[in-house]
Structure 1
Amino acid sequence: MQKTSSRLLALLSLLQTHRDWSGDDLAERLDVTSRTVRRDVDRLRELGYPITAFKGPSGGYRLEAGSQLPPLLFDDGQAVALAVALQVAATDTTIGEDATRALSTVRQVLPSRLRQRVDMLRITAVQPSENDDTSPGDPQILMDLSNAIHAHAELRFDYDQDHPAPAERPRRTEPHHLVTWRGRWYLIAWDLDRDDWRTFRVDRIRPRTPTGPRFTPRELPGGGVSAFITGRFRGTDGTTTDWPCHGEVVLNLPATAIAPFARDGIVEEVGPDRCRLTLGSWSWTGLAAAIGRFDTDIEVIGPPQLTAAFARLAARYAAAARITRPPEAPDTDASGSLET
């Protein structure tokens, strides 16, 4: 039979995996009597775990959520996963400080064998420059938005934009999801005044209270949050994750030199020193500029909109060169690609 201390941990682990356990099932899993299970449950209650008993043929037990946080029990895999997740969260500008303190607390109670595994992982947070307008969000605002989302309650808020309209009215929305995208928090909501889906930066939101009436959640375009937010940031209406503008060119560089910098583009080898690049962007001018960062000759395969975009950029660059002549640019790297 297990020692009392190890048996209590085993019992606690079982209670945390399922909401309800019958007394007979617990006794069978722990290889003890039902009377021993009752005594062990009383010991866990004395330690602060809110365990309630319910009636039934053989009785049962349930681990409830308590008003205070009692000691938690994690197996090795869960403990390492929690520590790793906290290291990732520590890089967030909104909850980073709290995550760092939580990580320190978890690390202190890890066995040495697990602490060594966690310490081997190092995640470096790249802070925004002084000129970057990224500002940390308010954890309380995140909680307020989450509560409105969970309650399906209409939300009014003031929104600080780069170029706000004079005396703009508060936004009236049906909040649906909170997401993170490239280091920022965003609220996905149905804008009641504009009758369309919108994404709002959380650090620019100032909620008004109280919240409005309840609403029935709408179906998000694109089939899911991930597809919707990816599509929106690629310039689509959110129903597709694809870029609105696609082009195809041949570059006079080997595919191995282009592939590391092509991001989500498709690179095909045409010859030892030539490759075909298919790339997407939110606009034709943006696409031409993205392709132009490769320091090589470009042959446009299509479509005509991409050719026209190159012509517009060529005229702009030529005009800029006539206005001022900068010193000669340094040589690019051996591959001919600009560093990004």
Structure 2
Amino acid sequence: MSVARAERLVNLVLCLLSTRSHLTAERIRGIVPGYADAPSDEAFFRMFERDKTELRELGIPLEVGRNSAFDTIDGYRIARRDYELGDIDLEPDEAAAVALAVRLWDSPELTGAAHGALLKLRAAGVEVDEAAPAVVEPKVRTTEPAFGPLLAAVQAAQVVRFDYRRPSPTELRTRTIEPWGVVSWRGRWYVVGHDQDRAAPRCFRMSRIAGEVRPVGRPGAFRRPERVNLLEFVAKGSREDTAPPTTTVQLWLARNRAAGLRRRATPVEPRTLDGVSGDVVELKLFDPDSAAGWIAGFGPDVVVLEPEVLRKAVRERHLAVVGREEE
């Protein structure tokens, strides 16, 4: 947000807080600095509409009404009883819980929100000591690339589309969902929402999402159902999908390298690949998607021959590492 716009919003809030009557848009235009710079009436009304939306998104209660029955145009004001924050009195253990929550998240998306809440508490006179020693040092790491875009889509109520790898049979399918929320279950992250393709609620493991999460349509396109327990939904879905898949993958291993894979694999035949001696092996995987990161960790010593979905997943991880090194 530009400095000029921030100053205009602050002046607008002060103006609407200071009046007991409802001020029309034209009256506000003449009082609040910044609006007079609008080159035309149309430009002013667009600016004013954006500012009203901004205030509402910040949680500022903008009241719309008329001062008398003879008025023909709506006016605006901010009622102090709705705007002012009531007294906040946290017990020592509650203040400690807040400080612990601030330490909890290790992702940029949630770190900002946590520190913003902390700032508001301090502005209200509540001291929260972040430096106080804690018996538990919590960390929730969100390394999945899809986490940030999905969390943003949940907050904006925006439909998203992504390519999703099924564990068995191994295949890549495009899914379009209305995301209701993100959940961590047994060390894995899931997104829960309404699957438009299957016209039913579904949960998707984030580690199986391939490529980018693409927004579809405008924000505010749907509403999350009330009284839905996302964690229970994910737990139930996980229990129903406990049968281990019987996926056999074929790998090429450089000669005398990748011992961790060789111990679990069955030799097939020796083969030279791009002038490098090695062996073709077969490996049974319970979850090829989760194994993609493990296989990618062996670098050029391992090449996925089959299936193609796993080959692409490993390649994506290699490209991601190269991209981080170039930054």
TM range (shorter): 0.3 to 0.5
Q: What TM-score do the two structures reach when normalised by structure 1?
A: 0.36
Q: What TM-score do the two structures reach when normalised by structure 2?
A: 0.37
Q: Which structure's relative contact order is higher, taking Cα pairs within 8 Å and 6+ residues apart?
A: 2
